[in-house]
A = this chain, B = another copy of it.
Amino acid sequence: MKELKLNKNRFMKYPGNIIFRLMFLFSAIIITFTGCKEQQPVRRTIVSPEIHQDKSITFRYLAPGAEKVELSAEFLSENLLMTKDEDGLWTTTTGPVTPDIYPYFFIVDGIQVHDPNNTYLFPNERFKRSVIEIPGDPPLLSEIQEVPHGNVTYRYYKSQSLDLIRPVLVYTPPDYGKNPETRYPVLYLIHGMTDTEETWFKVGRVNVILDNMIAQGLAEPMIIVMPYANPLPALLEKNEEVDMNVLSTDYFTDDLINDVLPFTENNYSVYTDAGNRAIAGFSLGGRQTLAAGLGNPDKFAWVCAFSPAIFSNELENNFKNLYASPASLNSKLKLLWVSCGKDDGLYDASVEFTSLLEEKGIRHRTFFSEGGHTWMNCRLYLSEIAKLIFN
């Protein structure tokens, strides 16, 4: 509670009536608008989450009317019960937490909510999480540091395959554009099921990781293209007859090959040979990566599947053409990389898949890490492949 009290005191140091008039006005606007007088009055400055020196964390949530508030976080093995003070402020303090970036949320009388006092949100079609970044010492690759920074640009392209205007995010490395003659290799990077084109940027910290790795000489400068790999909501909105099988990779492959690649190559100073194109993706994006990448070895020489959503009963079938001519595939692919966490529900399938690759004589690398189906692992996998690709 120290920081909270400190803030209140600091705030109270400036009692000039103007500040109170403004806060009253905003409170009035918000209270009028919400019709929710007992909730989150803006006049109280709540700090949540608050990270302490020893990396323990205090979470706070104001809900005087609630009967039970819990914290659910990806660094916890089970939810933490929060306790209420006389003002209705619910609080819990964790033990020290390993530095990383974690999703979390509150469960208020059984209802999942964001932390209202934390700006940092997880972009997703379905679940809504707040995100906490716990800094490391020395700083993690995912922490913004004083190094040259690349850019992340939000763009639109017209997908002829989908007949839709689609969003795409593009990371350009720090030196991009300084010398118009310089060309770059391109990594196409795909999010997981229910994620969006923003998830690799906001949660995957792709730009920060690459900026830091480039600064340390650990990765080649590259462009990273992050499309929105789920067109189903937009197609449904147009009332099109769409195949709702979320495991189908056809929409994505068509859009990637026929629209995203030409868009990238027409708008950025990039190499256009397979040796300078990589594809990587997480979960359903890992499945899409294998389909689009291994299905087009003339287009992608680097194919990296992070915790891919593949299933043993389809392994023989889906990649039949590849197994038929391993020598041809081996001569085209510079890297086939499969990773998974040992606690991930998809771990067994990844092991089976890579065993089958072994058996068929298809050259590949595996990276089986601790942990589960998480974005903590996504960032780890990205930093691992960034060392390998385009080298």
Residues of B within 8 A of A19 (CB): 245-247
Complex Cα gap A152–B246 (Å): 30
Chain B minimum-CB-distance residue to A25: B345
On chain B, the residues within 8 Å of A70 by CB distance are 35
Which of chain A's residues 94-144 have a Cβ closer than 8 Å to chain B?
105, 107-114, 116-117, 119, 121, 123-128, 144
Contacts of A29 in B (CB 8 A): 345, 372-373
Complex: how many Å from CA A2 to CA B346? 35
Q: With a CB–CB cut-off of 8 A, which chain B residues contact A109?
A: 109, 111
Closest residue of B by beta carbon distance from A42: B126
Tell me the chain A residues, 183-204 only, with Cβ under 8 Å from chain B. 193-194, 196, 201
| Least CB separation from A207: chain B residue | B154
A153: contacting residue among B7, B146, B152, B156, CB under 8 A: B152
Q: Could you say which residues of chain B place their CB within 8 Å of the CB of A119?
A: 123-125, 196, 233
Closest residue to A78 on the B side, CB-wise? Answer: B35
A156's partner among B79, B110, B144, B156 (CB-CB below 8 A) is B144
- Are A40 and B79 in touch, CB under 8 angstroms? no
Q: Which of A213-221, A289-297, A308-316 contacts B (4 or more CB under 8 A)?
A: A308-316
Given contacts A33-B72, A146-B158, contact A247 B18 (CB under 8 A): yes
In the complex, the answer to whether B144 meets A165 with C-beta atoms within 8 Å is yes
Assembly CA distance A385 to B105 (angstroms): 40
Contacting pair A154 B156 (CB below 8 A): no
Q: Given contacts A35-B70, A108-B111, could you give 19 more A-B pairs where the C-beta distance is less than 8 Å?
A: A11-B244, A14-B244, A22-B247, A22-B311, A28-B345, A30-B127, A38-B110, A39-B112, A40-B126, A42-B194, A47-B236, A109-B109, A109-B111, A113-B113, A116-B127, A121-B123, A151-B153, A153-B154, A154-B154
23 interchain pairs (CB within 8 A)? A7-B236, A13-B244, A14-B243, A16-B245, A19-B245, A22-B193, A22-B311, A28-B345, A29-B345, A29-B373, A33-B74, A35-B78, A35-B79, A36-B110, A66-B111, A108-B111, A114-B128, A117-B126, A119-B123, A146-B158, A146-B165, A149-B155, A152-B154
For the complex of A and B, 4 pairs with smallest distance between CB atoms: A14-B245, A153-B153, A152-B154, A10-B244
